[in-house]
Amino acid sequence: MFNQIRFQKIRHAGHLGVALALILGASMLVTGCSGSGDSSGTTSAGSNLLALNLPDSLTGGTAAGGAVINSPRSFVPRAMSVAKSSNGTGEPCFFSGVEDDDVFRNGYRMSKFMISAIATWTCLADTIIDLSDVVVHDGTIQESDNDTTAANYKADEPTHYSVTEDSATQTTVRLYYGYDRVTPPTSGDSPDFFLSWDEAANGDITGRMVVNAGMIDPANRDPEDPTSMRIDFNYTDSAKLADMFLRFDSGNPWADGLRIEVTKDLTVSPLGQVYTARGLMEMKAQFAPVAGISELPQLRMYTVADRLGEGAAVAEFVDVSLPLEIDAVSGDHLGNYLFDKTDIYFFDADQNSATPWDWIDKTVTDSQYRGGRNLVTMSTTDIIAFLGLSPSYFSGTECANVGDDCTAMLNAVFADGFAGQEQNQGSDPMDWRSTAITSPDYLLSVYPNGADWVGAFDMSFNP
């Protein structure tokens, strides 16, 4: 019986893993082009105008080769690619992030996966900025060599593009998809990819990238994929900030939006809090809907790192439902729970070491029993003995009635590496990282205006 409990604990943790589809469904917007970079995550190609030079511990490092789906190369007109290739510099914009599907194993892996998206797209933006130098800047909409009537036509590559000098300091690149050569896009048509940047006289750089993913190869889109993406850039002599907004398709049953913000502080010691990353996912439903739970979950992330890549990540799962079925055949069920969980992970710059972490601490901070408990072949005494709970745990005011606090039990469930997560280990090193994550400043909204998606993905930018 005890082995059954252990097995089902792991199996039903998969309800949390359903969230993986929300982020992996965004793969078309977070994977990059193959190439290589140095150990700090910098790249050798492109203008490096928007590069954040993120350390490998935050991005997973650059990776060569491998198949990528709808890679950013697809967004670059072939005419530009040919010019780029002739320079022999390549497109080093593929960052490993997390190289398997287990993104939610800990808060650090969640952070690394999302931060790699920022690394990919700032690199891509620099590549496009560099490529734009080799084409005319008069706003003329030009054909790429991706012809809709050709046998080798690719619906996920642009058919037309233009580059415009909006002012002495601002340049805009527009890419168009799916147009034939008989009826090409005109200046009145909205592009599907938009990048505009402004280099002010004082050296400040602002910009915006917008992708209308819903119109790029629509016949092959997954209805759970993101439909739109936007990144705002704001770089000064004291800080660089890249702020990404992803809106999921209405067909996605769980997620509405995802926001990832990365800041690089240029004024602090390189051995202090140089990088700060924040993430927030706006949900439409629970990963595992159960009776008695109407709350919507939230996933939020806060990560800090020094220039070399040593840092800490804290992730919070808030108002998440968890059904604990012991055995579907016998009908044994430990009940449904709503819980909050904090996941702390202190990581080293050297991810190749035998112990790339200093401290791992996963704690359920709040919970409620919401009903559904049904023990048929087992008894509460069995559960109490297996999890090491107090003898009266399932009676009186302890985790017996709907609304009771069951935090002690859930922490016992998570303690031995629930769902393949690492066991808690190590100790707080009590260094700058401990101070930095004491009171995480989480993002409050996934929306650029703080309220909704209205105007969020307009193909325009005014410095």
Q: What is the pLDDT of residues 411-429, one digit of tens each?
A: 998 876 565 667 889 999 9
Q: Give the tens place of pLDDT for each residue, 438-447.
A: 999 999 999 9
Give tens-digit pLDDT for 396-413. Answer: 889 999 999 999 999 998
Q: Residue 364: its pLDDT value, please?
A: 94
- At 397 the pLDDT is 86
CB atoms within 10 A of CB 393: 19
Percent of the chain with pLDDT over 90: 58
The pLDDT of residue 250 is above 50: yes
User: pTM for the complete prediction?
Assistant: 0.84
At 215, is the pLDDT very low, low, confident or very high (cuts 50, 70, 90)?
confident
d(CA 54, CA 22): 24
Residue 160: CB partners within 8 Å, gap ≥ 6? 141, 142, 143, 144, 175, 176, 179, 184, 185
* pLDDT of the residue at 135: 87
Please choose, from the candidates 121, 130, 110, 131, the residue with its C-alpha nearest in 3D space to the C-alpha of residue 58: 110
Please report the pLDDT score of residue 102 as a whole number. 75
Pairwise CA distance, residues 6 & 293, whole Å = 25
Residue 111 and residue 163 in contact, taking contact as beta carbons nearer than 8 Å: no
pLDDT tens-place string over residues 372-404: 999 999 999 989 998 899 999 998 889 999 999
The residue to which tokens 């590069």 are assigned? 51
Q: According to the model, what pLDDT value does residue 320 have?
A: 93
Q: Is the pLDDT of residue 127 over 60?
A: yes
Q: What is the overall mean pLDDT for the chain?
A: 82
Give the burial string for 34-73 (b: 16+ CB within 10 Å, else e).
Answer: bbebeeebbbebbbbbbbbbbbbbbbbbbbeeeebebbbb
Q: What is the pLDDT of residue 440?
A: 95
User: What's phi and psi for 425, nearest 5 deg?
Assistant: -160, 165
Which residues have a Cβ under 8 Å from the Cβ of 184 and sit 6 or more positions away?
141, 143, 159, 160, 176
pLDDT at site 419: 59
Give pLDDT tens digits for 163-185. Answer: 999 999 999 999 999 999 999 99
**pLDDT at res. 330:** 92
Residue 213: the pLDDT is 86
Instruction: Answer whether residue 1 shows pLDDT above 50.
Output: no
CA atoms of 186 and 231, how far apart (whole Å): 25
Per-residue pLDDT, 13: 32
Q: pLDDT at position 95, please? A: 84
Q: So what's the pLDDT on residue 416? A: 66
pLDDT class for 151, splitting at 50, 70, 90? Answer: very high
- Sorting pLDDT into bands at 50, 70 and 90, what band is 64? low
pLDDT surpasses 50 at 35: no
Q: Angle, to 10 degrees, between the axis of helix 407-414 and the axis of helix 380-387?
A: 60
Of the candidate ranges 24-38, 59-73, 145-159, 382-396, the one whose mean pLDDT is the lowest: 24-38
Q: Average pLDDT in the 246-267 region?
A: 91
- For residue 433, the model assigns a pLDDT of 97
pLDDT beyond 60 at 343: yes
